[in-house]
Structure 1
Amino acid sequence: MKHLKTLIHNARHRTLALFGALVLVAGIGMSTASVAQAASGTGQITGYQGLCLDDRSASTAQFNPIQVYTCNGTGAQQWTVGSNGSLQVLGNCLDVNGAGTANGTKVDLYTCNGTGAQVWQPQSNGALLNPNSGKCLDDTGFGGSGTQVQIWACAGSANQSWNLPGGGGGGGGGGGFVVSQAQFNQMFPNRNSFYTYSGLVTALNSYPAFATTGSATTQRQEAAAFLANVDHETGGLVYIREIDQSGNYCASESYGCPAGTYQYYGRGPLQISWNFNYYAAGNALGIDLLDNPDQVATNAAISWQTALWYWFTGTGNGGVTSHNAMVNGNGFGATIRAINDIECNGGNTAEMQDRVNDYQSFTSILGVSPGGNLTC
């Protein structure tokens, strides 16, 4: 396993760069502006935790519950996106019970009738808006397999983010992601089973601009850059939690450290740390990470979301986010500065070069040039 020793050193010092990257902005990447209706297609609709939208027991009965369920490829999970805004399964439609408008109204199966209760408009943050109620399709309570879906006020949260067949509704997810599952497995042959490809795809729904902005070359370069930094931070997606958890990453903030003074160590693909980063990431994602930071180490979709949150918001001492660095031509070196500035300007050339090596390897897998400005 590479970086077994250096991970301990880097994870502790990388957090100094994160300290300068505090962004207390709720709803980053969560615009509710409507986007064009997804093209017609048939396939699974994936949501929070990589679960699929499912017609319970494959029943065609009126008012049969629609739930989230472990993806299994059956007909109960094969949804057709209609040109009229409907979502159809087994010859029936996804329907807001009684054309209700209140939070918590159940969503079930009903004969397709073209009413407003059966119209679903994909949003730029992956949400599915029912315009008749002004509410969004919701995996209620961030529920697990078997939870019936409902409508709730649109919040831009992870449990309201869905990926339609062909990647629609979530921008960069599913079949639209420039990295295939086979390529992901090639990049991370020894990864921990916690870091799932489906978890990453689900997380992409919250950040539709990731690896979808600019030319095809730029999109692949951004995906490679993100995953290369992830590879370095986690030793090839092996580590979920920071090895050395003895550090005090509890900064003096009004909200304090309710989970415990020593509970804000690095976790996840980019090893997010410090109480203020958990607080800001949680606000942006609609998840209470300040009180429950270990969600980053126990829920694959949330874990990937925190990494993408930092990718889109953190600048470290570089003044530019990693996303902007890749789409605006600053080059891979600027992402290193945003994530761990201490490696730059000769601070730790070997560790910086390891990131560059990973990036060059991943761009090769994706069949694209790495571009210039690789170091910092």
Structure 2
Amino acid sequence: MRKNRLLACFGVALAGAAAALVPMTASQAAAACAAAWNASQVYVADNVASQSGHNYRAKWWTQNDSPATHSGQWDVWADQGACGGGGGEDPPPAGGFPLSQTQFEQNFPNRLPIYTYAGLVDAAGHFPAFAAGDDTTRKREVAAFLANIDHESGQLQYAEEHQPWGEYCDLGRPYGCPAGPTAYHGRGPIQLSWNYNYKAAGDYLGVDLLHFPDLVKTDTSITFQTAFWYWMSQNGPNTMTAHQAITGGSGFGGTIRSINGSRECDGGNPAQVQSRVNSYLRFTQLLGVDPGGNLYC
């Protein structure tokens, strides 16, 4: 998300591109819908995926066979019955965040302990304008946010930038870099960096991140709050925030431009852009919402 970022320090492109919805096993399936079937996902016997309001159990290895059209006694999928949010699915939290804990855990299976569902929900509650529109707008924004943090943090497997750390320290600011010139490297799900971002985010959140930047990688709510702060309030290299982009018609491509457009958009790094788009399409499928237009920047 930051200016002058060393993208090579992150493994996010490969991790984001390789990420896939993790299907539930048959023992976990209930009245709730499993993760939506994904044509690029390999399924093995007893994996469960949902499609068209039904859960389906794979009888053996399959990849491109659509459950709704390849189920039956002699085919690869067995229809497990209708699903739709009842039974064992976690109720979505209040405030319009339409992602359950089960879905979060399934789709970030290798996340670090700092990245908890409770921390995500608590942080979202500090930004009531996030995901506050109609159902389509809410789900698109949640999918866009998750896709970008998925890419930035390698499916939530990174809490901070790999060493050696760069000097993200603008000494022209009156407050300087009291924690040291390399203390403001990327941290958190959206890789907050630079002393002025730590200062501004800390002032907004009421936390002294300028002197204690490690809070971004150790506090389960603060780490997500910094991501929401950037998403809701910072234009980055764009003329609008990521929140304004996804809710105002600029589409998912606009969120990319707000986060790292100076390096990725306009042909700067099409592979990175495609990685983000792939993640967005997975999450919109999971949440059951049309992704809309303007996917690329």
TM-score for both structures, normalised by structure 1:
0.54
1:310 equivalent in alignment to 2:241: no
Q: Tell me the distance in 2 between the aligned counterparts of 1:330 and 1:186.
A: 29
Q: Which amino acid aligns with 1:242?
A: E
1:6: Cα distance to partner?
5.4
Q: Determine helix, strand or coil for the equivalent of 1:359.
A: helix
Q: Which amino acid aligns with 2:105?
A: N
Q: Tell me the distance in 1 between the aligned counterparts of 2:293 and 2:129.
A: 22
1:351 maps to which of 272, 291, 295: 272
Match of 2:295 in 1: 374
Decide whether the 8 Å contact of 2:10 with 2:161 is kept in 1.
Answer: no
1:364 equivalent in alignment to 2:267: no
Match of 2:160 in 1: 241
Segments of 5+ residues of structure 2 without an aligned counterpart are: 1-5, 13-90
Match of 1:324 in 2: 244
Decide whether the 8 Å contact of 2:202 with 2:210 is kept in 1.
Answer: yes
Q: Tell me the distance in 1 between the aligned counterparts of 2:126 and 2:184.
A: 23
Q: Tell me the distance in 2 between the aligned counterparts of 1:328 and 1:296.
A: 29
Q: Tell me the distance in 2 between the aligned counterparts of 1:345 and 1:176.
A: 33
Match of 1:22 in 2: none
Residues 15-30 of structure 1: pairs in structure 2 closer than 5 A: none
Decide whether the 8 Å contact of 2:11 with 2:154 is kept in 1.
Answer: no
| Change beyond 3 A, Cα 1:275–1:6 | closer
Decide whether the 8 Å contact of 1:173 with 1:204 is kept in 2.
Answer: no
Q: Tell me the distance in 2 between the aligned counterparts of 1:229 and 1:7.
A: 17
1:246: Cα distance to partner?
2.1
Match of 2:140 in 1: 221
Q: Whose strand proportion is higher, 1 or 2?
A: 1
Q: Tell me the distance in 1 between the aligned counterparts of 2:116 and 2:234.
A: 24
Q: Which amino acid aligns with 2:141?
A: E
1:235: Cα distance to partner?
0.5
Decide whether the 8 Å contact of 1:222 with 1:326 is kept in 2.
Answer: yes
1:209 equivalent in alignment to 2:129: yes
Match of 2:188 in 1: 268
Q: Tell me the distance in 2 between the aligned counterparts of 1:223 and 1:365.
A: 11
TM-score for both structures, normalised by structure 2:
0.68
Decide whether the 8 Å contact of 1:173 with 1:202 is kept in 2.
Answer: no
| Change beyond 3 A, Cα 1:278–1:310 | same
1:198 equivalent in alignment to 2:199: no
| Change beyond 3 A, Cα 1:257–1:211 | same
Segments of 5+ residues of structure 1 without an aligned counterpart are: 12-166
1:244: Cα distance to partner?
3.0
Q: Which amino acid aligns with 2:148?
A: N
1:10: Cα distance to partner?
8.5
1:245: Cα distance to partner?
4.0
Q: Tell me the distance in 1 between the aligned counterparts of 2:8 and 2:291.
A: 25
Q: Which amino acid aligns with 2:194?
A: W
Q: Tell me the distance in 2 between the aligned counterparts of 1:206 and 1:317.
A: 25
| Change beyond 3 A, Cα 1:190–1:10 | closer
1:176: Cα distance to partner?
4.3
Match of 2:257 in 1: 337
1:205: Cα distance to partner?
1.6
Q: Tell me the distance in 1 between the aligned counterparts of 2:250 and 2:96.
A: 25
Q: Which digits, 9 at most, give the CA deviation of each residue in 1:173-202, with x for residues without a partner? A: 547421111121222122112100000111
Kindly report the root-mean-square deviation, in angstroms, between the aligned alpha carbons of the 2 structures: 2.0
Q: Tell me the distance in 1 between the aligned counterparts of 2:293 and 2:109.
A: 27
Match of 2:149 in 1: 230
Decide whether the 8 Å contact of 1:187 with 1:362 is kept in 2.
Answer: no
Q: Which digits, 9 at most, give the CA deviation of each residue in 1:28-62, with x for residues without a partner? A: xxxxxxxxxxxxxxxxxxxxxxxxxxxxxxxxxxx
Aligned-residue sequence identity (percent) comes to 54
Q: Tell me the distance in 2 between the aligned counterparts of 1:285 and 1:7.
A: 30
Decide whether the 8 Å contact of 1:7 with 1:243 is kept in 2.
Answer: no
Number of equivalenced pairs = 212
1:250 maps to which of 159, 169, 173: 169
Larger radius of gyration: 1
Q: Which digits, 9 at most, give the CA deviation of each residue in 1:293-345, with x for residues without a partner? A: 00000001000000000001111221010001111111000100010011001
Decide whether the 8 Å contact of 1:183 with 1:366 is kept in 2.
Answer: no
1:261: Cα distance to partner?
1.0
Q: Determine helix, strand or coil for the equivalent of 2:272.
A: helix
Decide whether the 8 Å contact of 2:10 with 2:162 is kept in 1.
Answer: no
Q: Tell me the distance in 1 between the aligned counterparts of 2:109 and 2:11.
A: 23
Q: Tell me the distance in 2 between the aligned counterparts of 1:245 and 1:274.
A: 15
| Change beyond 3 A, Cα 1:339–1:208 | same
Q: Tell me the distance in 2 between the aligned counterparts of 1:245 and 1:323.
A: 32
